[in-house]
Amino acid sequence: MFNSAFKNFNEILDMGGHGIYVWSVYLIGILIIVISFLIAKKRIKEVQKKIKLKNASS
């Protein structure tokens, strides 16, 4: 069960001709998830900034 399915790095990239499909899906999927995290973090910062501004003015 723990034997590698591939012999070398090129085989991992190629995946018997399916590499382009497999890797593009994972690349774009990871990218979308990472961007979502960045947006969420940015929003928290923005809101905190707004509240701080309001606190300072009152």
Partner 1 sequence: MLMLGWTWGLLFAPQDAVQGNSYRIIFLHVPSVIFAELIYFFMAVCALMHLVWRVKLAAYLIKSAAPIGAMITFIGLFSGSIWGIPTWGTWWQWDARITSTLILFIMYLGILTLHGSFSNLAKADRLMSILVIIGVVNIPIIKKSVDWWSTLHQPASISVSGSSSIDPSMLYPLFISVIGLGFTLISLGILSSRSYILSREKNKKWASEHV
Work out which of 7, 10, 32, 57 binds partner 1, going by CB under 8 A.
Answer: 32
Overall residue count recorded for the chain in this entry: 58
The token pair at 11 is 């085989």
Phi, psi values for residue 27, rounded to 5° = -60, -50
21 contributes a contact to partner 1 by CB under 8 A: yes
Work out which of 7, 10, 44, 57 binds partner 1, going by CB under 8 A.
Answer: 44
Nearest-approach distance from CB 10 to partner 1, in angstroms: 13
In whole angstroms, give the CA distance from residue 40 to residue 58: 28
- How many of the chain's residues bind partner 1 (CB under 8 A)? 35
